[in-house]
Every structure is written in C-alpha cells, then in structure tokens.
Amino acid sequence: MEDLLSRSTPIKMCAPMVRYSKLPFRMLVREYGCDVAFTPMIIADSFVHSAKARDNEFTTCAGDRPLIVQFAAKTAEELSTAAQYVAPFCDAVDLNCGCPQRWAIKECYGCYMLNRPELVADMVRQTKSNANLPVTIKIRVCEDMRKTVDLVQRAERAGVEWITVHGRTVKQRTEPVDYDSIRQVVDSVSIPVFANGDITQLSHVDDICSRTGARGVMAARGILSNPCMFAGHSQTTLDCVQKWVDISLSTGIQFTTFHHHLMYMLEKIHSKADRQVFNTLASVASVLDFLEVNYGIK
C-alpha cells in the first residue's frame, strides 16, 4: 500500500457495493485500470460468530490485491476481531461510517457513526493495534461541517490510514455532490483523502482531484455500469462483457448476480426492446444465447 500511496498519479478505487463488489467483479475491474478494490460491506458481528458467514461473505484469490475489506461494526472489539480473521488476505480494513440506509443507522452502523467520533477513533486505534493492519474509514459529510472536521481529525490522531468522503449528507441521494466539502476535509487533515460521488468517466478523475485536492477517487454506480471506465472507455465494451462472462463461468457465480451485472453493463448498449427481453431472461443458458446471437459473445 505504501508504494501505491507514493505514486504521483491519482489512485482509482472500486467502491464497496452490497451484492456487487464481490471477487468476480473485483477481478474484472482490475483488468481495466482499477488500483484498489473493496469488498461489499460485511457485518462484523455475524462474521465473527459464524463460520458460514465468513465463507459466504469473504472470498479472495492471489490476484485480488490491493484489497480492502469493509466492515460495519458498532464496537472496537467487533471490528478488531473481524479484522484479525481477514488480516492475512487483505491490505487494510475499512470501517463503514457512510451507509445512509435506515436499517443500518437503526442498528448503529454506517452514518450512525458520524455522531460518534470518539467511538470511531477508538475502533481505529484498537483495530490497528490488535490486527496489525491499516484501517481506513468511509464517511458521508455532516450538514454541520464542523462535526465532519472533528470526526476526521480524531480519526487521524487515532492512526487511520486514509479517509474516503462521499460528498453528500445522510439525507441526500441524487443531489449534486458537494466537492467543496471534500476539499474542506482534505484541508483539515494531513493523511490521504479520496473523493466519492458521481464519478462516471475517466476524465472526472483528474478534474475532481484537482478541485478537491483528493489523492484519488472511488467509483460506485459509474463503475458498476461501466467496469472499464478507468481504462478510458465511455461505455462498457464488448470485450469487457466477454471477460465478465468468462470470469463468471469460471467462478460459478450465482445467476442473479451474473445477470444483474450484465443488465447494468449493457444498459447503454441495448435497444429498448432488447433491454426488455434481456432483463426477463431467467437462466445462464438463455443469457448466453442472447449474447451470442446479438453481440457474438460466447
């Protein structure tokens, strides 16, 4: 990770995405200029107490690096214990302080942590010490930016490796990203900060880093619909679709995940009529037949 952070060019990251940023998709985006990939958010408590959860929620391979494992946790013990399980197989763990969903906040996860800066700092400190592993955090901004600055400065003093900032508040979904708030975070700490929100093409990377002072960017919806975005492609290429098919068939991915990824990737390629047909397909065989007939993908 030190070599990566010492680079002079912006670092490009694939965001943690529930159901989607699993090993097969991480393998795909690494083919197209993605520097760092995150696992989906994993509930630390379940991960610690259930071998089945560990087997289901975390898979990796030799080429899956640099890798950050993201956890949702509510205590330092939960996070540090979960981190010890994955420490041999990843480069850092990330504490989710940015999930805005109601269920997460109700369970004291995600954006709930934005109002618990002392707890976040303690979780960072203990996990870094007990797991001997770098710790990062991903946040949303608060309506009162003084609270955001207090949180990130406490995290920095606790030894957090870097901070990823989604430039929206917990209540915002499709509103424009507030890049000025990300700049404010950058100016308030001396550790690397990464910008997240509405990054949908390669040209955005330099623009947003220049505007915010961020060390790099994290893409979510943009890279989900165009996994080859960081390689400079304006939309998913058929070569990328072919690689996704090959990776999926070789890893035995669940059909629903395989199909949903293709629905996102092909959205701008399909005609409206083709999209309606493709989205209702119900088997791997029918999807493969469709891709071969319409795009020559086998």
Whole-angstrom Cα distance, residue 22 to residue 204?
A: 25
Diameter of the chain measured on Cα atoms: 58
Q: How far is Cα 125 from Cα 216, in angstroms, rounded to an integer?
A: 24
Helix (H) or strand (E) holding 45: helix 44-49
Residue among 34, 97, 99, 240 flagged as catalytic: 99
CB atoms within 10 A of CB 173: 8
| Closest to 162 (Cα-Cα) out of 33, 32, 68 | 68
- Both structure tokens of 161: 């490796």
Give 38: exposed, middle or buried? Use CB within 10 Å, 0-12, 13-18, 19+: buried
Residue 72 carries which side chain, given as an amino acid letter?
A
Query: Per-residue b/e over 75-89, b at no fewer than 16 CB within 10 Å?
Result: ebbbbbbbbbbbbee
Radius of gyration over alpha carbons of the chain, in Å? 19
Q: Hey, what are 86's tokens?
A: 């994955």
d(CA 108, CA 97): 10
Q: Active-site residue 99, yes or no?
A: yes
Contact 193, 186 (CB under 8 A): yes
CA-to-CA distance for 215 and 160, rounded, in angstroms? 15
Q: Which residues are catalytic?
A: 99
